[in-house]
Amino acid sequence: MAVPDYQQVRDNLRLAYDGAASRRDRQDKQPWKLAERAAFLRRLQQANSTRLLEIGAGTGQDSAFPASYGLDVVATDMSPAMVARCRAKGLDARVADFSQLKFPAESFDAVYAMNCLLHVPNAELPAVLASIASVLRPGGLFFLGVYGGSEATGEGPAEWDDHVPARFFSWRTDDQIAQFASVLFHIVDFHIAQDGTEHRFQALTLRRPLPSAPRAGAAMGCGPVWRPRSGGH
């Protein structure tokens, strides 16, 4: 299988989301997505986390939620039209590519990524995760939520997509996403938030290890030690 041209993937995503910003801003969030972000906020409150970075923030609906509870939130998206929607909500929002996050090292207590890393080709995902880890303080939490798939679904532009141009998706198995995550992070929780469909939703809460802490599944090619549980939190 040919390796996707990641620059072309990003250019197409920017065009697709610029063109869909108005429509997407009018969409209501599904209840299970609201439950995921509320559960992550509770974790942040329990950890006394105060500064949150959202990547792939879209129109800012999710960033506005923790901001309303007093967190210092920075919303980022590669789409200028999406960032404009974020700013209209009063958010600190910036056009940024999450493969090249230009923030000081370890400057965030937490990172939130809802349904954006499924647009990253497998070949590029390790570098993107490393970029995220670099701006997260040791011990900080990272919510990674993506639709998953099977070995057969693979990756590429989705023929059924209603965005123009069609967006690139990478559908990863539970084992694949756990393997990617466990190289740089501890897996705190891994559950399936939406099941019974071809692309069930994989919800991972990750923690950047403290300097002396070993990572689960990271030693000498060790496989993932987590299997997702079904249902809620």
Q: Could you state, in chain order, the average pLDDT of each consecutive group of 10 residues for the chain (233 residues)?
A: 86 96 94 95 98 98 98 98 98 95 97 97 96 98 92 83 95 94 97 76 96 56 52 55
Query: Which positions ≥6 away from 219 have C-beta within 8 Å?
Result: none
Query: Which pLDDT does position 175 carry in this prediction?
Result: 94
All structural domains of the chain: 6-230 (3.40.50.150)
Query: Which pLDDT does position 221 carry in this prediction?
Result: 37
Query: Which pLDDT does position 63 carry in this prediction?
Result: 98
Residue type, 193: A
Query: Which pLDDT does position 3 carry in this prediction?
Result: 78
3-state secondary structure the chain: CCCCCHHHHHHHHHHHHHHHHHHHHCCCCCHHHHHHHHHHHHHHHHCCCCEEEECCCCCCHHHHHHHCCCCEEEEEECCHHHHHHHHHCCCEEEECCCCCCCCCCCCEEEEEEECCHHHCCCCCHHHHHHHHHHHEEEEEEEEEEEECCCCCCCEEECCCCCCCCCCEEECCCHHHHHHHHHCCCEEEEEEEEECCCCCCEEEEEEECCCCCCCCCCCCCCCCCCCCCEECCC
pTM for this entry: 0.91
Alpha carbon distance 170, 117 (integer Å): 8
Query: Which pLDDT does position 2 carry in this prediction?
Result: 72
Alpha carbon distance 79, 96 (integer Å): 8
Nearest CA to 27 out of 157, 162, 150 is that of 162
